[in-house]
Amino acid sequence: MRGRTAWAAAGGAAALVLTTATGAHAEGRGDIRVVKTVVNGGGNVIVGTSKTIRYPVDITVKDNSGVKKLTDVFTFNQTNGYRFATWDGDSSCTKKSATTSVCRATMTIVPAWIPDSDTIDSNRVAGVWRLDATVKANDGDYWISDHIAEYKVKRAARLTTVIAPEKVAKGARATVTGKLSRADWEDLKYHGFTGQQVKLQFRKKGAAHYSTVSTASTGEAGKLSTKVTVTSAGSWRWYFPGTTTTSLKVSTGDVLDLA
């Protein structure tokens, strides 16, 4: 069995304890409350195999004396309780009125730490995550706010497109191939993603937008291949809509010209 660090084991255990208390009410003292939370601007958090990811958490807080700061921000997978995103304790609060401020915390994910952050297959930590936070007011009021937001942390995807030949006569056939792969958080490499529906799209030369021509399923090692009848010059690409745990990905278009 692969070894895990003591820090990872402790973090996983702590998250699991919190997860069992999902239904618990927030608690604290006074009238301070979280009224709105936005994670990463409302978008998914996409994590690959090497690049450090930092994303903002904006928490709108209200208290009659004014808002002082965030004292804790904690986030984890809401199904299994595991986590690998950390908060360094820094935050800034922007005053919107005498009683309301928007406080921002920045979360950090270092892919190199992921394999040692749990005792399960790390890929299972992708999916819907939950956010908790503790906030403090100028008059000493505080509130431990459970489950103030949900968002998705997804495995990054890669997608390629190649068309051959690159120049054919009108009415001739060409073959469009490609490969869909996604980040594996266990070995920190990309592997083919099989059994996924991917859309083949075409943009006629001079046109502004792509349109879907057909749909194909990824085979062994995430490979894609289909034949098309060429009616005009333009660009071809594959479009993968993503899943709950894997990011949407659009390949770079490959240009085909008429002979």
Q: 96-152: per-residue pLDDT in tens? A: 999 999 999 999 999 999 999 999 999 999 999 999 999 999 999 999 999 999 999
User: Is the pLDDT at 13 greater than 50, yes or no?
Assistant: no
Using the predicted structure, report yes or no on whether residue 246 has a pLDDT greater than 70. Answer: yes
> What pLDDT does residue 134 have?
97
Give the Cα separation of 72 and 34 in Å (integer): 13
Over residues 142-186, the pLDDT tens digits come to 999 999 999 999 999 999 999 999 999 999 999 999 999 999 999
In whole angstroms, what is the distance from residue 219 CA to residue 180 CA? 9
Higher pLDDT, residue 12 or 82: 82
Listed as own residue / partner, the contacts of 122-125 with beta carbons closer than 8 Å and 24 or more positions apart are: 122/84, 122/185, 122/186, 123/155, 123/184, 123/185, 123/186, 123/245, 124/77, 124/80, 124/82, 125/77, 125/80, 125/82, 125/83, 125/84, 125/153, 125/185
For 185-220, the pLDDT digits (tens) are 999 999 999 999 999 999 999 999 999 999 999 999
What homologous superfamily is domain 6-155 in, according to CATH?
A: Immunoglobulins (2.60.40.10)
CATH 2.60.40.10 residue window(s) in the chain? 6-155
157-258 architecture in CATH?
Sandwich (2.60)
Q: Considering the entire predicted model, what is its pTM?
A: 0.88
* Peptide bond preceding 165 in cis form (omega within 30 of 0): yes
Confidence at residue 249, expressed as pLDDT on a 0 to 100 scale: 98
Q: Residue 27 — very low, low, confident or very high, per pLDDT cuts 50/70/90?
A: confident
Tell me where in the chain the CATH 2.60.40.730 domain(s) lie: 157-258
Nearest to 67 by CA among 39, 107, 104: 104
Mean pLDDT of the chain: 91
Mind listing the pLDDT tens digit for each residue in 54-93? 999 999 999 999 999 999 999 999 999 999 999 999 999 9
Q: Is the pLDDT of residue 15 over 60?
A: no
